[in-house]
Amino acid sequence: MRATLMMALVGSLVAAHAQAQSEDALRRYFEGKSVVVKLEMPGTEDGVDVYPGTSQPVNFPRHAKRLKDNGTAIRRGDEVLITKVKVKKDLIEFQLGGGGYGTFADETSSHVETASAPKTDREKNLEKEVPRITDPAAKKKAQEELDGLRRDRQRTDAANRARVAEAQQIKDANIRQRRAESGSRFNLRYRAVVPADAMTPDAVMRALAEYVDFSPVLAAHTDRPGLHGEGEKRPAAGVEGLRKGLLAEEVDAMLGRPESIATRSEGTLQVSLSVYLTRDRRVEATFVEGVLIRFTTSSR
The enclosing domain of 276 has a CATH number of 3.30.1450.10
* 189, 94: one domain: yes
Same domain, 80 and 23: yes
Asked whether the predicted pLDDT for residue 95 surpasses 50, the reply is yes
Residue 205 burial by Cβ neighbours in a 10 Å radius (0-12, 13-18, 19+): middle
Statement to judge: residues 97 and 145 lie in one domain: no
Overall average pLDDT of the 239-247 stretch: 78
pLDDT at position 108: 54
Going by DSSP bridges, is the β-strand pair 48-50/184-189 parallel, antiparallel, or unpaired? parallel
What pLDDT sits at residue 232? 41
The verdict on residue 209 lying in a domain is yes
The answer as to whether 114 is a domain residue is: no
Which of the residue ranges 127-141, 223-237, 267-281 has the most confident prediction, judged by mean pLDDT? 127-141
HSE-CB of 182 using CA atoms within 13 angstroms: 30
Q: Are 99 and 182 in contact (CB under 8 A)?
A: yes
Determine contact, residues 167/27, Cβ cutoff 8 Å: no
Mean pLDDT within 58-77: 94
pLDDT classification of 219: cutoffs 50, 70, 90: confident
**Total domains in the fold of the chain:** 3
Instruction: Note whether residue 268 is domain-resident.
Output: yes
Mean pLDDT of the chain: 82
Residue 251's domain comprises 239-299
Q: Is residue 125 part of a domain?
A: yes
Same domain, yes or no, for 35 and 79?
yes
Q: Is the pTM of this model over 0.75?
A: no
In a domain, 96, yes or no: yes
The percent of residues above 70 in pLDDT, for the chain, comes to: 78
List CB contacts of 83: < 8 A, sequence separation 6 or more: 31, 95, 96, 97, 98, 99, 183, 269, 288, 289, 291, 293
8 and 96, same structural domain? Answer: yes
**How much is the pLDDT for 160?**
81
- Whether residues 159 and 201 fall in one domain: no
Domain-located, residue 288: yes
> Does some domain include residue 80?
yes
* Cβ count within 10 A of residue 75: 11
Is the pLDDT at 6 greater than 80? The verdict is no
Task: Report pLDDT digits (tens) over 244-272.
Answer: 878 888 888 888 889 999 998 766 678 89
* Domain contains 246: yes
Q: For residue 234, name the pLDDT band (cuts at 50, 70, 90).
A: very low
